[in-house]
Every structure is written in structure tokens, then in C-alpha cells.
Amino acid sequence: MAPSSDSPEFRIRQATVSDCSTILHFIRLLAEYEKLSHEVVADEVKLAATLFGDEPGAEVIIAEYQGKPVGLALFFTSYSTFLAQPGIYLEDLFVETSMRGKGFGKALLAHLAKIAVSRHCGRLEWSVLDWNQPAIDFYHSLGAVPMEGWTVNRLTGGALHTVAEQAN
């Protein structure tokens, strides 16, 4: 069963605030898969405020099959100074385990690429855990290439606050 955009059983739609429990469910499943469940502090209230409040920090699209959510893509706008164009950063792509290999992930990425093109973005990018070979193979099959020579850096918690305190 490959999803088709003209199938009445399959659709991709923009998430709404009423989807917060579904979004949180998928976040928890993704964290479990990535062996990072201990890092999830998100809850429905925080998701509602940060995704659907006055200043949304990201957007979510949801894939549905036969009226049931089967996956999501959570993304936000980035910017490339080299291109002088906005981009889209895909933070999370998740498809229910039982629905993998059926085209839902590809459909979500294709939909996201269409959004990027319609918004005149110069790129669509994301990170993948280096041990997640199924995801790496999937992304390569779409033509995605790893960014060799780049290392992701992050400030969180106490380190973030320590650096912030150094600002005037």
C-alpha cells in the first residue's frame, strides 16, 4: 500500500492545536526509537504554546491513513547567509513502526519539499543519528547527501544560561 495524494484513504495536513496529544505521542515514540526517552520533557501545554501560540517556533504536518495519524514532520524556518535565502530545517520525521516501508515517510518529505519550494527556500536539511542506518539509507535513496566536515554543536541548560549571562 503506497500512499497516493489522490487516495481518499491518505492525506497530509497541517497540524492544529487539537493535535498536541498526537504530536506528543509521536515525539515519545521517536525518542524511544532513538534511545532518548529520558530527554523528553515536552508536554501538551508546552507544545500548544510553542507550536500554536502567538509566536510559533515550528510547524507540524501530519500524515493520516484511513483517518488515523500515522506520522509527522516537525520543521521550522532556517536561513542560509551563503544563499541569502530561507530554508527549512526538519527537526523530526516519524512514521509509526507498523507503517514504515509503505511510502509515508517519503510522502511527508515530498510534501515538505513542496512547502520549501513554494516558500522559495534554498534548502531542506536535517540531522540523522549516525547509527540509524535505515534512516540514512532512506535519505540517500531520495538523493540527500550528508554534510561531511560539519559537526553539530549545542548549548543547553546551565551552559546556555552561563553564556547568556555574559551578554550586556
The residues annotated as belonging to the active site are 139
User: Residue 85 pairs with which residues in a beta bridge?
Assistant: 80
Residue 78 Cα distances to 90, 102, 139, angstroms: 10, 29, 20
Q: Which amino acid is at 61?
A: I
Q: What is the largest CA-CA distance in the chain?
A: 57
- The answer to whether 23 and 47 have CB atoms below 8 angstroms apart is yes
User: Residue 78 pairs with which residues in a beta bridge?
Assistant: 87
The Cα–Cα gap between 34 and 167 comes to: 35
- The answer to whether 124 and 87 have CB atoms below 8 angstroms apart is yes
